[in-house]
Structure 1
Amino acid sequence: MLRVHNPLIFLNRMSGTTVAQMPQLLDKGNIKKFLDSFDTILTDCDGVIWAGDEVIDRSNEALNYLRSLGKKVFYVTNNSTKTRKEYATKFGTLGFTASQEEIVGASYVMAQYLKQKQFNKKVYVIGTSGITRELDNVNIKHTEVGPDPCPENVISLRDSIHLDPEVGAVVVGFDGHFSFPKIMRASSYLANPDVLFIATNTDERFPVSNMNLVFPGTGAIVRSVETAAERKAVVVGKPSPLMYEVISKENNLDPKRTIMIGDRGNTDILFGRNCGLTTLLVLSGVTALEDVKSWVASDDSEKHSLLSDYYLPTLGNILDLVK
């Protein structure tokens, strides 16, 4: 068999199909080689280091240990509900070492993206103050966030919704007040092909532990607007390389000496693959071991691209391997 770009994927010359291998489980036999292979860590937050406001299995201690080895740590999150300043407060409260410059959220990347485009119009925002405050930080005008109630007779909206001619972009993030009028406003603005369409991320759901309920993520909202607008959004969050470009530009990172830690194959791990990084999957969030096994068994090359180089049950397990 011939090895292709992914170190876990091989090309079967007889059949012309790709064959995948399981990621390596980190253990005491390979932990030293693993730790010696990188200088910089990019890590997701929800499902990796915390669940809501609770630390996941000593993840703060694990990252502080890795820092003690001289590793740089950057937190990369698709969650658009907080600014970097607000995240810094949360990190400190939960026992993580984190400066504002080490936190790269989807809202921050979105604002930087518009700034780099020298955007000078107004943004229609579906989202929270995490988005609008980052826009404020780069002096970009925006609409306000909050409820936009829907009347029982939706046809009556044609008489009450008036489009702002200053709007030149639509940004969609997580919005607990998402509603029919918001879909209508966003898709109406996007009928103009010159209006930019940006999504902070397309995560399908939130990793919420000990619950039998599905908590829909930003992806569900983005897909609704895309369907009505008949347009695809530019996604600034993972797996788009834009997040890595922002961090690398400011910190001169070497992708060959950088790892990405995450709990989702289709965002975190694919992001790492897209940026040429080593990847570590932790099974404390969305992706389960059964998912990984099904991707390995699949003939679909897109499923193979979701496979990490290494995996662990939780990030805190690193502490057990270095004792």
Structure 2
Amino acid sequence: MSGSKCRRLSGTLVKPLLDSVDCVLFDCDGVIWRGDQAIPGAAQVVNRLKEKGKRVFFVTNNSTKTRAMYADKLAALGFDASEEEVFGTAYCSAAYLKTVCGLEEGGKVYLIGSPAMGQELEAVGIRPTGVGPDPVAGRQSDWANVELDPEVKAVLVGFDEHFSYMKLNRALQYLSRQGCLFVGTNRDTRLPLEGGKAVPGTGCLLQAVETAAQRQAQTVGKPNQFMFDCVASRHGVAPDRCLMVGDRLDTDILLGSGCGLKTLLTLTGVSTVADAEAHRGSGSAERQGMVPDYYVESIAELLPALQG
């Protein structure tokens, strides 16, 4: 592992790094906001980057909002952002099913996920089914013969606050059919909250479905390269002129490293410098990919280099 990795980004290092890139990809929660509050100085950094001619994109594994919903939240928190600059897993999963899996116009998907995911699927001509509660009904001996939609061609798993035994069972029955596609938004197992607490993430739901179906899903979200491909294909960005800014080593930094982007870890979210240092010298390429090029306490530290 190069000794130049995981350097504190400060002083004279900031401007050369920013001069070396044309676009910056930001994770959202833990990087530019926490919950419903912007990280102090984050909006000024994003807005000044754009004023300086940099292209800015927002790349999140959260599947509970549409691109339009994220654009509205960004605007409300003072960020200069448009819907076209947002890439969440709700949108990217719909794009994946359409472009990579080749799901035809009007195709149906059994969705374990949010209404926002359903909206993004509908926007590309895919029909979702399964959104909302699905309580257990009938006798156990009948559950394996639960009613299924014959038009469903894929199962898509994202964050679903109504996840239940019957949804798990229904997904298993669909995935037991010949040719049924299996896609997950992401594998994040925990969602960090304020005060150091956490709740189960989408990865827990996806693992449950994988265990039941005895099949592995293809995941779309970070660190899968498809998230960056979505940005690159729609906006023509070059990886060697991009900077990925994130708070998680196993998603944000690994995505950036795997796609040939420069990487910056901010310490306002999940991962720490000690976490990054623990991966140094590892024989595992994946662990090495979780060591960022640089780190900052907060992205607000970029602001002085953007003034003037």
Q: Give the alignment's TM-score, normalised by structure 2.
A: 0.92
AA at the equivalent of 1:189: Y
Measured at CA, do residues 244 and 126 of structure 1 come closer, stay the same or move farther in structure 2, by a change above 3 Å? same
Aligned to 1:256: 240
- 1:51 is aligned to 2:34: yes
AA at the equivalent of 1:190: L
- 1:82 is aligned to 2:65: yes
Aligned to 1:189: 174
Alpha-carbon contact 2:189-2:203 (below 8 Å) kept = yes
CA distance in 2: counterparts of 1:53 and 1:197, whole angstroms:
32
CA distance in 1: counterparts of 2:296 and 2:91, whole angstroms:
29
Range with greater deviation from structure 2 (168-177 or 200-209): 200-209
Give deviations 1:39-62, integer Å, cap 9, x for gaps. Answer: 101111111111111111221111
Aligned to 1:208: 193
Give deviations 1:188-220, integer Å, cap 9, x for gaps. Answer: 111124001111111121131214x32111111
SS of the equivalent of 2:191 reads coil
What pairs up with 1:136-215 in 2 under 5 angstroms? 136-150=122-136, 155=140, 158=143, 161-211=146-196, 213-215=197-199
Give deviations 1:199-252, integer Å, cap 9, x for gaps. Answer: 1111121131214x3211111111111111111111111111112112111211
Give deviations 1:145-170, integer Å, cap 9, x for gaps. Answer: 1122236x972552772122111100
Alpha-carbon contact 2:6-2:277 (below 8 Å) kept = no
CA distance in 1: counterparts of 2:304 and 2:194, whole angstroms:
23
Aligned to 1:126: 112
Alpha-carbon contact 1:121-1:166 (below 8 Å) kept = yes
The count of corresponding residues between Structure 1 and Structure 2 is 304
- 1:97 is aligned to 2:80: yes
Aligned to 2:9: 26
CA distance in 2: counterparts of 1:150 and 1:65, whole angstroms:
52
Unaligned runs of 5+ in 2: none
Question: What RMSD in Å do the two structures reach over aligned CA positions?
Answer: 2.0
CA distance in 1: counterparts of 2:50 and 2:285, whole angstroms:
35
Alpha-carbon contact 1:31-1:322 (below 8 Å) kept = no
AA at the equivalent of 2:128: H
Q: Give the alignment's TM-score, normalised by structure 1.
A: 0.88
Aligned to 1:226: 210
Give deviations 1:72-113, integer Å, cap 9, x for gaps. Answer: 101111111111111111111011111111111111111112
CA distance in 2: counterparts of 1:83 and 1:157, whole angstroms:
36
CA distance in 1: counterparts of 2:65 and 2:272, whole angstroms:
27
CA distance in 2: counterparts of 1:318 and 1:210, whole angstroms:
26
Measured at CA, do residues 284 and 96 of structure 1 come closer, stay the same or move farther in structure 2, by a change above 3 Å? same
CA distance in 2: counterparts of 1:261 and 1:223, whole angstroms:
27
Determine which of 41, 66, 69 is the counterpart of 2:52: 69
Aligned to 2:261: 277
Deviation at 1:301, TM superposition (A): 3.8
CA distance in 2: counterparts of 1:44 and 1:236, whole angstroms:
15
SS of the equivalent of 2:216 reads coil
SS of the equivalent of 1:29 reads helix
Aligned to 2:96: 113
SS of the equivalent of 1:98 reads coil
SS of the equivalent of 2:24 reads strand
The sequence identity of aligned pairs, in percent, is 44
SS of the equivalent of 2:29 reads coil
CA distance in 2: counterparts of 1:264 and 1:90, whole angstroms:
22
Measured at CA, do residues 154 and 298 of structure 1 come closer, stay the same or move farther in structure 2, by a change above 3 Å? farther
Measured at CA, do residues 272 and 123 of structure 1 come closer, stay the same or move farther in structure 2, by a change above 3 Å? same
Measured at CA, do residues 90 and 156 of structure 1 come closer, stay the same or move farther in structure 2, by a change above 3 Å? farther
Deviation at 1:259, TM superposition (A): 0.8
Alpha-carbon contact 1:295-1:303 (below 8 Å) kept = yes
SS of the equivalent of 2:62 reads coil
